[in-house]
Amino acid sequence: MAQDPKQESEEAAPASKKKLIIIIAALVLVIGGGGGAWFFMQQKSDVKKVEVKKEEPIKAPVFLALDTFTVNLQPDPDERFLQVDISLQVASPEVAEAIKLHMPSVKNRLLLLLTSKSAAEISTLEGKQDLSKEIIDEVSKPFPPNTKPQEVLDVFFTSFVVQ
């Protein structure tokens, strides 16, 4: 018996619809899986980048100890003197070398600064902190005019005697 061509097309239609649905579902899974894999791979690479940044070595501080300064202070009303040991923390060994190269100029600047102070000005904690800032300002000034200033990060008093 011969089947009606109309009946054959109706039976083929449900089978082709099933194939179409299976193909679409497979495409969605492949695209979704690929997109998910890409997303997770990106997150892992971001974590690795952060970890690399954390592993950078910390630079060791660079200190430069200066000679002991003994100076007469401004009278208030008595004559007093200051004996102080100073260490500078600088940005790099190159800055330390530049300061060593110009040490007579550094000493001159600091002697002029220290002799302008009275015992009352530098006896308090606030006075010592202000003096520290002034020392940073003096040492940071460029040695030859119109050149880059020295990068002095901090000043440490390792000995401080007012008599």
The predicted structure's pLDDT at residue 124: 94
Q: Supply the pLDDT for residue 20.
A: 81
Q: Which residue has the tokens 């449900």?
A: 14
Evaluate whether the domain defined by 62-162 bears CATH number 3.30.479.30. yes
pLDDT-based confidence at residue 80 (cuts at 50, 70, 90): very high
Instruction: Give dist(CA 73, CA 80) in Å, integer.
Output: 6
- Domain locations in the chain as residue ranges: 62-162
**What's residue 55's pLDDT?**
65
- Cα–Cα distance measured from residue 29 to residue 23, given in angstroms and rounded to the nearest whole number: 10
Residue 62 has pLDDT above 90, yes or no: yes
Mean pLDDT, range 91-96, rounded to an integer: 94
Model's pTM, two decimal places? 0.64
Residue 21 clears pLDDT 80, i.e. is over it: yes
Q: Answer whether residue 45 shows pLDDT above 70.
A: no
pLDDT in tens, 102-133: 999 999 999 999 999 999 999 999 999 999 99
| Beta strands at 81-90 and 62-65: parallel, antiparallel or unpaired | antiparallel
